[in-house]
Amino acid sequence: MKTTDTIGFIGLGVMGGPMCRNIATKHPGRVLCFDLSADALAALADTKAEPVDTVEALAAACDIICLSLPGGPQVQKVAALIAATAAPGTVVVDLSTTTVASARETAETLAASDIAFADCPVARTREAAQQGKLSIMVGADPAVYERIRPVLDYIASDVTHGGAVGAGQVLKLVNNMLVFANTVALAEMIVLGEKAGVTAETLLDAVSKGSGDSFVLRNHGMKSMGPRQFPDRSFPPEYVLKDIGYVFDLAADTGVRLPAAARVRDYYEASVANGMAGKYFPGVITLVENGTMEES
């Protein structure tokens, strides 16, 4: 990447907005942004990020284009617009979570217009996005990876090059499935401890000092599940189910059975069915408290 490169950012949601802010703060060149939400664009008004009216206008003006979109269908739709308008040699950096097959299909669509592609899904929390301390898993040709690495360093403290296109999504899906499963297991253990007379605060503190420690415990457990405080505008169970669906798509493609993951999926399906849609997914602990899962 050149310091004079113009970077575009499409999708300024819960994670995309903070990522774009970090890029606008740290990149010496121009930064353009696009989102369908006027409020999302207004949230960056105090930065140098320049709003544009269309995806096509952004694509035509940028050397590197970052995407942070809800899923594969949206990425493919936007990629088609970019393929029709961006200059040859442009690089698309997809920070979204999609299926592996979708990432590879998007790469083929863009390659037909001599546009490079890297799947670079992000992990960790909105707070990490705000701090520029995300973990990013990358699927890209080595030359493309070297070109985009400075952009990734604007928004992440840890970057892993997993291999060719699609590898980033494989790593992200494995990561997310482990987070979702760990959250369910931790929910059960917090409630078990409380019923046995140990407070969640004490339990989490003690386990954090032992071999049961984890990122989920220190973040979702200590900050949300223990005190039962679930912030707005955070990752909801319906997004969890989208990612779990991608995991099972990959399992079907590779012939791997995932019975434990299937049980975890049951929890989040029950979460949505019991009025928790749109709420922070660690709220799954309420299903353990009220005995919902005992009936299934």
Residue type, 133: K
- Pick from 247, 208, 246, 201: nearest CA to 225: 201
Strands 31-34 and 116-119: unpaired
- Residue 32 CA to residue 211 CA, distance in Å, equals 45
**Among 2, 26, 172, 223, the one annotated catalytic:** 172
Quote the CA–CA distance of 102 and 94 in Å, as a whole number.
11
Q: Label residue 242 exposed, middle or buried (CB < 10 Å: 0-12, 13-18, 19+).
A: middle
Residue spans of alpha helices (H) in 49-156: 55-61, 72-85, 100-111, 126-131, 142-155
User: Kind and range of the H or E element at 36?
Assistant: none
CA–CA distance, 28 with 53 (Å, rounded to integer): 23
Dist CA 270 CA 187 (whole Å): 14
Identify which of 239, 93, 233 has the alpha carbon closest to the alpha carbon of residue 168. Answer: 93
Strand partners, 118: 93
> In 10 A of CB 164, how many CB atoms?
14
Catalytic residue flag (residue 172): yes
Active-site annotation, residues: 172
